[in-house]
Structure 1
Amino acid sequence: MPLHNRISRQELKDRIANDPTPRTTISFYQYFAIEEPVLFRNEIYRALNELGVMGRIYVAKEGINAQISVPTENFEALKAYLYTIPALNGLRLNIAVNDDGKSFYVLDIKVREKIVADGIDDPGFDMANKGRYVNAQEFNELTNDPDTIVIDMRNHYEFEVGHFEKAIEIPSDTFREQLPMAADMMAENKDKNIIMYCTGGIRCEKASAYMLHKGFKNVFHLEGGIINYTNLVKEQGLENKFHGKNFVFDQRLGERITDEVIANCHQCGKPADTHTNCVNDACHLLFIQCEECKEKFENCCSQECQDFIHLPEEEQKRLRSGIDKGRNVFNKSKSRLQHKMNK
């Protein structure tokens, strides 16, 4: 059996769009030592592929990080398989808050140097020395103390559409930039209670270990991140201290947590929190667009891109040649023209 996909991605997207099979979107991670990441990757690929799993999984010597969907009827079989792996026995599986089953369309498992790119090269850093977990109730109780500091360990575009009350944003584009920035910003608060959070828990768990490594004393991290917090709040009837939408890294691009819209359209400034990618293949900027601007600009981020998509296809291909979009994400701290392609 081939250990990778051989069907075109467009065909796979069409298949999942038209497939009525109920699917459940799940995320999970675990930091543990994997001596042979490639062998481990191949073993789990065979097992998950047989269960109809789709999604994105990173494997490294430090552990596993997964965002996947599975046919709902195979959910228990998936859990049973994962629990046969000793380090994953009893693993928490974060079930998506808003889920249409169309989050992924292919199974993609990659071996990486790390499951979260952190930029840490200090041999003394140890993930075993991490902050204390807090669940939803404990998080609410701790944050009722005005001296508790809440730090958001997600990217700026995630924070923009939704975050916890009184959360501090670390204004950076990457996690590797955030870690030293968070330590520097909190340098005068080493003895205070600091709670770190992220989408599903993987980034804030590593961030909590980093802060302890830098000499902070009372560091906590939200168990299971925003996803698990939201599910527990609903199950236990607790106060919800998260406002807005939770950005997710799949085709949904967001889970609605509350009805509040705390962000604005990047084109007209009206309240909006729907992320989209510019339809221009030479751009694909990730940005927030309201319904009015979506219609006006035909799913494009600008007039320039709208003009571009109406050029003859051969002309578009010629102009796209050699363009490196990189991490093409709208950043309000930069000029709106910086992302434009060179014509």
Structure 2
Amino acid sequence: MTYLIATFYKFVTITGLKTKKAEILALCRKLGVKGTIILAQEGINGTISGSQKAIADVLAYLRSLENLADLEHKESTFQKLPFSRLKVKIKSEIVTLGLPEVNPNQQVGTYVDPQDWNKIISDPEVVVIDTRNDYEVEIGSFQRAKNPNTESFREFPEYIEGNLDPTQHPKVAMFCTGGIRCEKASSYMLSQGFKEVYHLKGGILKYLENVSPEESMWEGECFVFDERVAVKEGLEPGSHQLCYGCGHPISEEDKQSPHYESDISCPHCYHQLTPEKKARLEDRRRQREYLKKAGKLGKGF
């Protein structure tokens, strides 16, 4: 069976969070939908998977809610459910920057459609910034993009403060996986005095879906937070897997390293591997092998 994966977010004022959480949770459970949906006063953010009809029903319900009639989503497919459970959470932010005064509902940068993105990032006057975490950037990014080397989105303001000046870098273009981090980052950049701030509408996923490989300025694969691990052009599953010792995405080249041991370690975590942790991971590997034989695990778990 082929399952539909839908990703969506929208910065918009949402009220009655507890009631909406309960209703969404009940509907998704009834329809067999898995994944994560985050609700906050500033908006909604989610990635869910299920049958085509189930996803359509959930999206229809969400769009029936106040201020969400124009909720946009991106679609891709996978041969297995890419999530093992369902989570609907209420948080203070739908993507955590740690600065509650930064509100995309009040100001946001200029949206750039995927078809126009190459022109923006080819401009030598534009500073191109990848707003994702370092392990995501490592397996793929756009040409000319700067890697902030952040471990979490909370570190992004510190990177900007230490590396960019609005008087010297007035033009900035940013991107992320689905558009949510770079949209919030654009609001922050405007609050810091940057004059021309652009962000990729729909994120990398929309770009890979709409821009042909011949015209693409994307290099590598795009990390995603589900069983697929990474995707490439056309949103086809990529070649990366996860290291179960540290959760870092690993390539075929990584697996040739003497520091790689299936389900135990990889070149990114080998030197932090203690005998105690190795024993725990070996025990977990035995459990995983049993579940795989029973057909209960797929590529990303």
Is TM > 0.5 for Structure 1 vs Structure 2? yes
* Partner in structure 1 of residue 103 of structure 2: 126
- 1:106 aligned to 2:82? no
* Partner in structure 1 of residue 188 of structure 2: 210
> Would the aligned equivalents of 2:38 and 2:88 in 1 still touch at CA under 8 Å?
yes
* Partner in structure 1 of residue 299 of structure 2: none
**CA displacement at 1:255 relative to structure 2:** 1.0
**CA displacement at 1:245 relative to structure 2:** 0.6
Q: Distance in 1 between matches of 2:166 and 2:40?
A: 35
* Partner in structure 2 of residue 52 of structure 1: 32
> Would the aligned equivalents of 1:171 and 1:178 in 2 still touch at CA under 8 Å?
no
For structure 1, the residue ranges without an aligned partner over 5 or more in a row are 1-20, 259-271, 317-343
**CA displacement at 1:295 relative to structure 2:** 11
- 1:197 aligned to 2:197? no
Indicate the RMSD between aligned Cα atoms, in angstroms. Answer: 3.0
TM score, norm. by length of structure 1: 0.71
Q: Distance in 2 between matches of 1:33 and 1:202?
A: 15
Counterparts of 1:150-299 in structure 2, within 5 Å, are 150-187=128-165, 192-234=170-212, 239-257=215-233, 274-278=240-244, 283-288=245-250, 290=252, 291-293=255-257, 297-299=261-263
Deviates more, 1:23-32 or 1:157-166: 23-32
Deviates more, 1:142-151 or 1:159-168: 142-151
Deviates more, 1:190-199 or 1:213-222: 190-199
Paired letter, 2:231: E
* Partner in structure 2 of residue 327 of structure 1: none
Rg larger in structure: 1
Deviates more, 1:195-204 or 1:46-55: 46-55
Q: Number of aligned pairs? A: 273
Paired letter, 1:99: F
TM score, norm. by length of structure 2: 0.80
> Would the aligned equivalents of 2:12 and 2:67 in 1 still touch at CA under 8 Å?
yes
**CA displacement at 1:78 relative to structure 2:** 3.1
- Percent identity over the alignment? 31
* Partner in structure 2 of residue 36 of structure 1: 16
Q: Deviations over 1:213-251 (max 9, x none)?
A: 0111100110010011111214xx871111111001112
> Would the aligned equivalents of 1:183 and 1:214 in 2 still touch at CA under 8 Å?
no
For structure 2, the residue ranges without an aligned partner over 5 or more in a row are 287-301
Paired letter, 1:54: K
* Partner in structure 2 of residue 25 of structure 1: 5
Deviating 4+ runs (over 6 angstroms): none
Change (3 A) 1:106 1:53: same
